């Protein structure tokens, strides 16, 4: 299993765990809320029944009454008692500033109608079934006790959501911080390694060039094919060193006709691969973009090499340059008739180290992405792919842009 399959598997396992933990914690608090709610219903019923008993009580001494009242009130949850016409008879556990309701002096009762109406509505929404008090008086009147959850239950209901959201925010921030520091570490490795490679190649290449010149002049071999081949190879080495030095520092971009840059590289490339692979280059021959040619050649090379690798024996590689006038962009679509990429891997192929080839390093496309995004402010993606049919990669460059490199040098 490659590191990316492992990473994906771990992502699923961790996500599963997170869902399990969140689910278990929600289930448990729900269980607690249900238990406390049942206990509160019992308390509300006891309160209602004791109210009923107090009303039915014959005259007893004040001390006894206040004793009964204090027992009753220790049982209560926020409640409102209404008669059958929905007039408030008494209440408890609500905001006392909204009323100066006085049970003894009924005529003086005064309460904020809006507040009580809302409270009653909230109570009915929470517990639609009221506790019914049969007064057993002459008119056989009934009172209805509505009650609502205590603050404790309400807080317990929302607590897990607040807690889980805070944990999620914390984890997201932590992930973001570590991800960006990992990215900047990777940046440093890329840039440092590239600079060092260019530096190490520099000396032997200069000396090889000097040796070739010496051979040419000493033995008068200017037209000798062997010397020309040697010269070509040294030039190729120079190009390689040049690419590495450019990726290790801030490259300079120039305006170029995109089609010409691509055409020149494709012509160089196609003679070096099997002639069973046919190259087709079409598209807009005028549109220009800011590019650094040695680096951009590297981009095209990586994508073309992958296309060649994906083609089993014979096939077609089509390159199309298109201008998107609306967004001032240039599209370079490279389509092959190769093995195709599964949809789930459209993004993964750009990760460093992802490869399906036996002798691949999985670096080609991540380098391509770096060059296009960091040095050309463009983008590269898998536009389309179908297993067994082929793949289209799309590079997008700005056709008319102001250059602001974002790379570390
Ligand atoms: N045109 C394509 N068709 C099918 N699969 C592709 C294509 N281009 C890339 N891939 C897949 O993406 C993987 C990563 O490509 P990348 O160029 O990054 O690495 P590589 O080619 O495996 O190794 P190297 O470092 O030598 O380039 C490839 O191994 C291949 O599975
Ligand atoms: Mg490759």
Query: pLDDT digits over 294-349, tens only?
Result: 999 999 999 999 999 999 889 999 999 999 888 889 999 999 999 999 999 999 99
Measured between alpha carbons, how far is 93 from 115 in angstroms, rounded to an integer? 13
389 C-alpha to center of ligand 1: Å?
16
| Closest to 4 (Cα-Cα) out of 391, 366, 385, 306 | 366
Beta strand ranges found along 199-328 (DSSP E): 254-257, 277-283, 288-291, 315-324
Phi-psi sector, 242: left (phi>0), alpha (psi -120 to 50), beta: alpha
Residue 156 predicted with pLDDT over 50: yes
Q: Which of 273, 312, 365 to mutate to test the pocket of ligand 1 (most atoms within 8 A of CB)?
A: 365
The pLDDT assigned to 43 comes to 86
Q: Cβ distance 144 to 132 under 8 Å?
A: yes
Please give the share of the chain, as a percent, with pLDDT higher than 90. Answer: 48
> Taking CA 65 as the corner, what is the angle to CA 63 and CA 69, rounded to the nearest 5 degrees?
115
Measured between alpha carbons, how far is 86 from 405 in angstroms, rounded to an integer? 73
Average pLDDT over residues 282-302: 93
The pLDDT assigned to 107 comes to 45
377 lines ligand 1 (CB under 6 A): no
Q: Which residues lie across from 323 on neighbouring strands?
A: 330
The pLDDT assigned to 319 comes to 97
362 lines ligand 1 (CB under 6 A): yes
Q: Which ligand is nearest to the CA of 349?
A: 1
Nearest residue (CA) to ligand 1, atom 11: 349
What is the token pair recorded at 33?
């809320």
Q: Which residues lie across from 324 on neighbouring strands?
A: 329
Q: Which residues lie across from 396 on neighbouring strands?
A: 331, 379
What is the token pair recorded at 306?
């992958």
pLDDT in tens, 185-212: 988 888 898 899 999 999 999 999 999 9
Q: Which ligand is nearest to the CA of 366?
A: 1
Which fold does the domain 252-398 belong to in CATH? Heat Shock Protein 90 (3.30.565)
For the chain, domain boundaries: 3-149, 154-233, 252-398
Confidence of residue 99 (pLDDT cuts 50, 70, 90): low
Mean pLDDT, the chain, whole residue set = 86
Residue 153 predicted with pLDDT over 90: no
Ligand 1 atom having least distance to the Cα of 350: 18
More confident residue, 236 or 50: 236
Q: Cβ distance 120 to 97 under 8 Å?
A: no
Residue 401 predicted with pLDDT over 70: no
DSSP 136-153: -STT--EEEEEE---HHH
354 lines ligand 1 (CB under 6 A): yes
106-114 own/partner pairs: CB under 8 Å, 24+ apart: none
The pLDDT assigned to 108 comes to 45
More confident residue, 409 or 281: 281
């Amino acid at each position: 299993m490659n590191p990316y399959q492992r990473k994906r598997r771990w992502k699923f396992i961790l996500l599963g765990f997170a869902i399990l933990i969140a689910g278990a914690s929600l289930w448990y608090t729900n269980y607690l809320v249900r238990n406390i709610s049942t206990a509160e219903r019992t308390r509300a019923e006891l309160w209602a029944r004791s109210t009923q008993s107090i009303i039915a009580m014959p005259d007893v001494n004040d001390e006894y009454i206040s004793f009964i009242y204090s027992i009753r009130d220790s049982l209560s949850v926020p409640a409102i008692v209404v008669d059958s016409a929905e007039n408030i008879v008494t209440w408890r556990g609500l905001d006392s500033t909204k009323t100066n309701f006085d049970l003894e002096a009924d005529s003086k009762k005064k309460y904020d109608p809006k507040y009580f109406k809302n409270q009653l509505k909230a109570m009915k929404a929470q517990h639609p079934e009221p506790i019914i008090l049969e007064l057993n008086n002459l008119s056989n009147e009934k009172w209805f006790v509505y009650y609502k959850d205590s603050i404790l239950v309400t807080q317990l209901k929302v607590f897990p959501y607040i807690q889980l959201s805070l944990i999620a925010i914390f984890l997201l921030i932590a992930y973001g911080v570590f991800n960006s520091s990992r990215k900047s570490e990777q940046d440093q490795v890329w840039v440092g390694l590239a600079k060092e490679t260019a530096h190490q190649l520099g000396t032997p290449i200069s000396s090889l060039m000097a040796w070739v010149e010496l051979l040419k002049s000493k033995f008068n071999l200017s037209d000798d094919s062997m010397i020309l081949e040697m010269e070509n190879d040294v030039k190729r080495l120079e190009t390689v060193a040049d690419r590495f030095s450019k990726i290790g520092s801030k490259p300079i971009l120039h305006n170029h006709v995109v089609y010409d840059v691509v055409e020149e590289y494709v012509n160089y490339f196609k003679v070096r691969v099997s002639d069973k692979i046919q190259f087709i280059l079409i598209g807009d021959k005028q549109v220009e973009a800011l590019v650094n040619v040695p680096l951009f050649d590297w981009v095209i090379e990586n994508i073309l090499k992958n296309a060649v690798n994906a083609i089993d024996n014979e096939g077609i590689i089509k390159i199309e340059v298109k201008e998107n006038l609306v967004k001032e962009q240039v599209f370079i679509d490279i389509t092959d008739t190769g093995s195709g990429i599964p949809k789930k891997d459209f993004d993964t192929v750009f990760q460093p180290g992802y490869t399906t080839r036996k002798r691949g390093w999985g670096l080609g496309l991540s380098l391509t992405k770096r060059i296009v995004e960091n040095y050309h402010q463009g983008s590269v993606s898998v536009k389309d792919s179908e297993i067994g049919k082929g793949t289209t990669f799309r590079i997008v460059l700005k056709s008319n842009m102001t250059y602001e490199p974002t790379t570390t040098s």
